[in-house]
Structure 1
Amino acid sequence: MNGFGRRTALAGAAGLLAAPALVRAQAAGVKVGLVAVLTGPQAALGTQLRDGFLQGVKHLDGRLGGLPAEVLVIDDELRPEVAVTKVRAAIERDKVDVVVGVVFSNILAAIMRPVTEANTFLISTNAGPSTFAGRGCNPFFFTTSYNNDQVHSVMGQAAQDAGYKRAFLMTPNYQAGRDAMAGFKSRFKGEVLDEIYVPLNQLDFSAELAKIAAAKPDALFTFMPGGLGVNLVRQYRQAGLANIPFLSTFTVDEATLPAQQDAALGFYSAAPWAPNMDNPQNRRFVTEFEAAYNYVPGSYAAQSYDSAMLLDSAIRRVGGRLADKDALRTAIRAADFRSVRGNFKFGANHYPVQDFWLCQVAKRPDGKFQTETVRKVLENDTDPYAAECRMR
């Protein structure tokens, strides 16, 4: 249209939804600290992340690698100091074996040292900042998502392929927002009319929309997660700007679409996964996730689900010997599991090598909204910082 052709040991999913809680299993097992923002306007993202991991453990009958799984759900409240305090307690008091989760890069940056300096594995299921992909890579850190720049570069490539010459860019003013700008520009070779950074808690975009209208770009590129994206999409449509192609990452996705609904129809996103991907693992994940939680899973949930399957494969490969850190690291690197997104393996920096897709918002026959794949943009893509990682 515009040039373009996310218990056995668990006591049941329902019991997990009321509040962050300790999900108990037998004493001899594996303990996981699951970090997610579950407070405030970004809680929808953390809820997706949490539910995706718990769905994975449920599919594994409450076990990881054959060991009973105990999941400590930690609400980081999108406050770095709170995240550090709670994660340290999980490591020092609760003796978790691994920490997984994290929606936002500023939270990941805050907990990285406390977790890895304790020789505890940290698996990010969403945040993937460039700072830890290159020279800051860490033998105790993995991510099942992507490098932040990488997924945004997909949209830059898609805009380039569509022949757009003039783009307007807008993201939040934090590390992931800066990575988004860099990622888009790494593949888009046209003119950037303006680059606007907004506060992470901004909800009124009237001034920025006026600038977009005046600039008359060929396309807007934006990264506005959670509540930011809900408000931006509604206001963009209300301002009569939908004739300007809306290219985004994590702005129109399954976490925001229930609130955006028709306002987001036809808008584009880029991702390594979408709910309509046709493979056995994904069909089971999406069908049973919707049955359990009554909403469409997004990439936050899918990547967390994959992390549960990754841990299961690694712990099984080492025969449950969690204390053997070197063996466990090797087993995690092997990524011997079937991902819901298809192609998946780890690069030298412990970031995935995977395919990326152009997706578009669609309304399903049942009235629910989801993103759907339009075409594959990049195949077996390695993030741009992997060569700088000196970890071997």
Structure 2
Amino acid sequence: MLKKSVRYLVAGSALLAASAAFAQAQEPLKIGFLTTFSGVSSVPGEEMYDGFMLAVSQRSGKLGGVPVDILKEDDQFKPEVATQAVTKLIEREHVPIIAGIVGSNIMMAVAKHISDKGVFLVSANSGPSPLAGASCLPNFFVASWQNDSIAEVVGQYATDKGYKKVVLMSANYQGGKDLLGGFKRFYKGKILDEIYTPLNQLDFSAELTQIAALQPDAVYAFYPGAMAITFVRQYQLSGLLKTTPLLSSAMLEAPNLSALKDSALGAFGGMFWGPDTDNPASKKFVKGFEEKYGRIPSIWAAQGYDAAQLLDSAIAKVKGNVADKDAFRAALKAADFPSVRGKFKFNNNHFPIQDMHISQVVKDAKGRYTVRTVATPLKDHQDAYHKLCPMQ
């Protein structure tokens, strides 16, 4: 009788252990999503989140076959708020992965801390130059672009078009400095002036009067969030759009165009993707996004979607065991997923190597404001800093 009881006890213990293992296997994987959900830069943040969540919903709430719990945090475009949010996500929620981040000011404040804590960070937008070069990080991966690249392509386009003299404008912060530096790296003409305005400035009348007096062949500008809408609208109202081509990066996106309408028609932007990108992954994304949200997706949404797809591929490769950091890092580096941009490959610094295009604001067949790809000045483009990164 005693032996029989022991046998039942062993069998019962095994059953309980199996049940516990199953329950543990089904435990959702926590992923922090830190970005700007309020203030003048909230539109890119919301778009990134919507794109990310579209990919999650297409996989029935899973990434890599594992249920995920996405924890939203609003950095308010303030480094001190972002730092507090990161501490909460890592120390209280114990997330192994954080994704998102719009602003380079935010990224520079939190990236090293996140990587040093052994947490993986997947950028769905910001790619500041220091983190692409000597300060590159082993647990930091960029699913978008290195900041300079979306301006480098415009600099090359301006050179190809034969513009002899241009004026540059941007908000005075890391992202703006990177982009103007990128434009200058590939532009072979003369810079008449380089104008930096305070972050969150919304009146550009004085600067536009100054530009009109200089009579450049073109203007290159970069402003994030609501500043982009205000700048483009004032540029058009000043009459400059009729006489002086407006070149830009990450400003002429779908949410902005719905507000700008005719104010932006004919303006140009540099980017790695557009809604007219012709490949199966992009078509699936655009169709799914329009069905779910009822609007044309922006580049920010595409970046969020690809960030989720990158994580989906890497989590699947390690069968959900993201605690094996070396294996998970290698799985992320492999980037084995169908990117909306087509071919996708990480460089040694964990920034992408990709084609860079020029698009122009147009109306589509339904009368909606969107962008159409008009040139591909840079193919298989590598950022300017990867050789300074010691990682292989």
Q: The TM-score by the shorter chain falls in which range?
A: over 0.9
Question: 1: distance between equivalents of 2:40 and 2:186?
Answer: 32
User: TM-score, length-normalised on structure 2?
Assistant: 0.92
CA displacement at 1:365 relative to structure 2 = 2.4
Gap runs ≥5 in structure 2? 1-23
How do residues 242-253 of structure 1 correspond to structure 2 at under 5 angstroms?
242=241, 243-253=243-253
CA displacement at 1:65 relative to structure 2 = 0.8
How do residues 1-392 of structure 1 correspond to structure 2 at under 5 angstroms?
28-242=27-241, 243-392=243-392
SS of equivalent to 1:72: strand
What one-letter code is carried by the residue in structure 2 that aligns with 1:144?
A
SS of equivalent to 1:380: strand
CA displacement at 1:367 relative to structure 2 = 2.7
What number of residue pairs does the alignment pair up? 368
Question: 2: distance between equivalents of 1:142 and 1:113?
Answer: 12
The answer (yes or no) to whether the contact 1:29–1:70 under 8 Å persists in 2 is: yes
CA displacement at 1:114 relative to structure 2 = 2.6
What one-letter code is carried by the residue in structure 2 that aligns with 1:283?
K
For residues 266-287 of structure 1, what are the alpha-carbon distances to aligned partners after superposition, in whole Å with 9 as ceiling and x for unaligned? 1000000001111111111111
Find the structure with the greater CA-based Rg.
Answer: 2
CA RMSD of superposed structures (Å): 1.2
Residue 16 of structure 2 aligns with which residue? none
What one-letter code is carried by the residue in structure 1 that aligns with 2:267?
F
Question: 2: distance between equivalents of 1:113 and 1:329?
Answer: 16
The answer (yes or no) to whether the contact 2:36–2:101 under 8 Å persists in 1 is: yes
Cα distance change, pair 84–26 in 1 and its aligned pair in 2 (3 A): farther
CA displacement at 1:366 relative to structure 2 = 2.1
Q: Stretches of 4+ moved more than 4 A in 1?
A: none
Identify which range, 210-219 or 278-287, moves more after superposition: 278-287
The answer (yes or no) to whether the contact 1:343–1:380 under 8 Å persists in 2 is: no
Between the aligned residues of both structures, percent identity stands at 45
Question: 1: distance between equivalents of 2:153 and 2:334?
Answer: 26
CA displacement at 1:26 relative to structure 2 = 9.0
For residues 321-376 of structure 1, what are the alpha-carbon distances to aligned partners after superposition, in whole Å with 9 as ceiling and x for unaligned? 11100000000000000100112100000000000001011112223211221121
What one-letter code is carried by the residue in structure 1 that aligns with 2:380?
N
What one-letter code is carried by the residue in structure 2 that aligns with 1:391?
M
SS of equivalent to 1:255: helix
SS of equivalent to 1:256: helix
The answer (yes or no) to whether the contact 2:271–2:358 under 8 Å persists in 1 is: yes
Question: 2: distance between equivalents of 1:149 and 1:345?
Answer: 18
Cα distance change, pair 357–292 in 1 and its aligned pair in 2 (3 A): same
Question: 2: distance between equivalents of 1:382 and 1:39?
Answer: 33
CA displacement at 1:120 relative to structure 2 = 0.3
Q: Which is richer in helix? A: 2
Gap runs ≥5 in structure 1? 1-24
Identify which range, 285-294 or 101-110, moves more after superposition: 285-294
The answer (yes or no) to whether the contact 2:26–2:66 under 8 Å persists in 1 is: no
What one-letter code is carried by the residue in structure 1 that aligns with 2:209?
A
Question: 2: distance between equivalents of 1:143 and 1:381?
Answer: 15
